[in-house]
Structure 1
Amino acid sequence: MSDALSQVEAILPQLSSSERILLIQKLNEEMGTHPGSGIDIQPGVCGGEARIIRTRIPVWLLVQARNLGKTDTQLLAAYPSLRPDDLTNAWTYAARHEAEIEAQIKENESA
């Protein structure tokens, strides 16, 4: 366990309920998975990779398709469960987590 995580664990019992809520909100914002972001990350779902909420469509897959020349219109046609705002959320998440998405693309290309 990292020193930073150990420090957080030591401080956590001292936080009030409202401070804990603020901490959770801050963590969610940092990860780009705050409520309403349209992006979800759950261990055991899509390998724990960022995905479009309500689906099992990982963000990296959409980014890779876009990199290969697919348009938003083509992606929406290929994935009928997607909504236009899902793509906006995916592009926003990908821009904030560029290294993560690129690593996932590379990992899945070699699989």
Structure 2
Amino acid sequence: MTLQKLEPELLALTPNEKAQAIQILAQSLGNPWRGIEKIPGICGGDACISGTRIPIWVLVNARNLGISEAQLLKDYPSLSATDLANAWVYATVYQEETATAIQENEED
């Protein structure tokens, strides 16, 4: 099957199915979350932008509160637009993990 033949089928998937497809494809590349890391003992083991202590849930929560990507890039000068794109994909694939992290950290 070619990508050209597969494209209409991919576009017809639901958002949840697309997220699952992204996860499957990313895992098949060997390094599924380039630019995102989870290290025990750093940020409570939450997924973070690589080389930073900026958790994905913080970025998602900020976006949920109406903070724009431009403002996030200004507030976190070490972030790139690619970092944000990776964060959004990760958060889409791991919605429950991200929501739980937001909830747990709001309780603190």
State the TM-score, normalized to the length of structure 1.
Answer: 0.69
Q: In the alignment, which of 46, 53, 57 is matched to residue 56 of structure 1?
A: 53
What is the distance in 1 between the residues matched to 2:56 and 2:87?
6
| Structure 2 unpaired stretches of 5+ | 1-23
Q: Secondary structure, in 3 states, of the residue corresponding to 1:100? A: helix
- CA distance in structure 1 between the partners assigned to 2:32 and 2:76 by the alignment: 23
Distance 1:97 1:86 in 2: 16
Q: Distance in 1 between matches of 2:47 and 2:31?
A: 12
CA RMSD between the two structures: 2.1
Which structure 2 residues correspond to residues 83-94 of structure 1 after superposition, within 5 A?
83-94=80-91
Say which SS state the counterpart of residue 105 (structure 2) adopts: helix
- In structure 2, the CA distance between the partners of 1:36 and 1:104, relative to structure 1 (3 Å rule), is closer
CA distance in 1, matches of 2:90, 2:33: 12
CA–CA separation in structure 1 for the residues paired with 2:103 and 2:68: 21
Q: How far is 1:29 from its partner?
A: 2.3
Q: Name the counterpart of 2:40.
A: 43
Maintained 8 Å contact 2:38/2:47: yes
Runs of 4 or more, structure 1, over 3 Å off, are none
Identity of aligned residues (%): 49
Partner in structure 2 of residue 71 of structure 1:
68
Separation (CA, whole Å) in 1 of partners of 2:97 and 2:34: 17
**1:29 counterpart letter in structure 2:** Q
TM-score (norm 2): 0.71
Bigger Rg, which one:
1
Measure how far apart 1:35 and its partner are: 6.0
1:78 is matched by which residue type in structure 2?
D
1:73 counterpart letter in structure 2:
A
- How far residue 36 of structure 1 moved from its aligned partner, in angstroms, is 5.9
